[in-house]
Chains A and B, each alone.
Chain A
Amino acid sequence: MGTATVDNRRLYGHAPENNYLKHTRGIASWMFTLDHKRIGVMYLVGVTVTFLLGGFFALVLRSELFTPNKMFLTEAQYNQAFTLHGAIMVFAFIIPAIPGSIGNFVLPVMLGAKDVAFPRLNLSSFYLWVIGTFFLLVAMIAGGLDTGWTFYTPYSIQTPTNVVAATFGAFILGFSSIFTGLNFIVTINTMRPPGMTWFKMPLFLWGMYSTSIIQVLATPVLGITLLLLIAEKLLGLGIFNPAQGGDPVLFQHFFWFYSHPAVYIMILPGMAIISEVISTHSHKKVFGYTFVALSSVAIALLSFLVWGHHMFTSGQSSISIVIFSALTFSVAIPSAVKVYNWLATMFRGEVVLTTPMCFALAFLFLFGIGGLTGLFLGTLSTDVHLHDTYFVVAHFHYVMMGSTAVAFFAGVFHWWPKMFGRMYNETMGRITCLIVFVGFNLAFLPQFVMGSRGMPRRYARYDEVFQIWHQLSTIGALVLGLGILLGIVVLVRSLFNGKRVSGNPWGASTLEWQTTSPPHFHNFEFDPYVGGLYDYKGVKYDESVEGYVPIIPPGVAAPGSAPVPQTAH
Chain B
Amino acid sequence: MATAEAASASEGHGSDGHGHDHDHGQFIAHHFTGPRQQYDSCKLGIWLFLVTEVLFFSGLFVAYTIYRYHHPEVFEEASKFLDTRLGALNTIVLLFSSLTMAWAVRAAQLEQRAVTTRSVLITIFCATVFLGVKAVEYSHKWGLGIFVAYFFKYDGAHHGDTNSYLTTLSIVPGICVVVCAALAGIGMATGKPLSGKFWGALALGLGGYFAGVGLGVGYEAVFASEGESHAEAGDHAAPAEHAEGDAHTEAEHEHESTEALVMDPSSDEARNLGLFFSIYYFMTGLHAFHIIAGVIALAWIMNRSIQGHFRADYFGPVDYVGLYWHLVDLIWIYLFPLLYLIG
Contact = CB atoms under 8 A, between A and B. Distances in A.
A216 B29 contact: no
A237 B44 contact: no
Contact of A247 (B31, B56, B66): B66
A189 B44 contact: yes
A47 to B, nearest CB: 23
Interface in A479-536: 527
Given A117-B45, A182-B45, A244-B271, A237 B31 contact: no
B63 A182 contact: no
A223 interface: yes
Given A191-B41, A236-B151, A244 B274 contact: yes
Contacts of A227: 286
Given A224-B57, A224-B59, A245-B268, A186 B45 contact: yes
Contacts of B262: none
Contacts of B70: 247
A216 B50 CA distance: 10
A301 B199 CA distance: 48
Interface-central residue, A119, A183, A245, by most chain B CB under 10 Å? A245
A461 to B, nearest CB: 36
A245 B275 contact: yes
Contact of A237 (B1, B53, B148): B148
B18 interface: no
- Which secondary structure characterizes the binding site on chain A? helix
A237 B150 contact: yes
A247 B278 CA distance: 13
A235 B147 CA distance: 10
B45 A118 contact: yes
A185 B44 contact: yes
A57 to B, nearest CB: 30
Contacts of A221: 55-56, 58-59
B45 A238 contact: no
B58 A237 contact: no
Interface in A243-261: 244-247, 250, 254
- Which secondary structure characterizes the binding site on chain B? helix
B292 interface: no
A236 B149 contact: yes
Contacts of A116: 31
A114 interface: yes
B149 A527 contact: no
B52 interface: yes
Contact of B150 (A191, A224, A228, A235): A235
B60 interface: yes
Interface residues of A, number: 42
A64 to B, nearest CB: 37
Interface in B39-68: 40-42, 44-45, 48-49, 51-53, 55-60, 62-63, 66-67
A257 to B, nearest CB: 8
A239 interface: yes
A228 B282 CA distance: 8
A97 interface: no
A219 interface: yes
B119 to A, nearest CB: 27
Given A244-B275, A527-B1, A238 B31 contact: no
A247 B57 CA distance: 18
Contacts of B48: 182, 185-186, 216
Contacts of B42: 117
Contacts of A217: 51-52, 55
A370 B41 CA distance: 38
Contacts of A447: none
Contacts of A237: 148-150, 278, 282
A178 interface: yes
B272 interface: yes
Interface-central residue, B149, B151, B279, by most chain A CB under 10 Å? B149
A383 interface: no
B37 interface: yes
B170 to A, nearest CB: 21
Contacts of B40: 190
Interface of A: 113-119, 121, 178, 182-183, 185-187, 189-191, 216-221, 223-225, 227-228, 231, 235-239, 241, 244-247, 250, 254, 527
What are the 10 A-B residue pairs with the smallest beta carbon separation, nearest first?
A: A236-B150, A238-B149, A224-B59, A114-B31, A115-B31, A220-B55, A220-B56, A237-B278, A190-B41, A117-B41
10 contacts: A117-B41, A118-B41, A178-B52, A182-B48, A182-B49, A182-B52, A186-B48, A236-B151, A238-B149, A238-B271
Interface of B: 1, 29-32, 37, 40-42, 44-45, 48-49, 51-53, 55-60, 62-63, 66-67, 70, 148-151, 268, 271-272, 274-275, 278-279, 282, 286
Given A186-B48, A219-B52, A527-B1, 12 more contacts: A114-B30, A115-B31, A118-B45, A119-B31, A187-B41, A227-B286, A231-B148, A238-B278, A239-B63, A239-B149, A241-B149, A250-B66
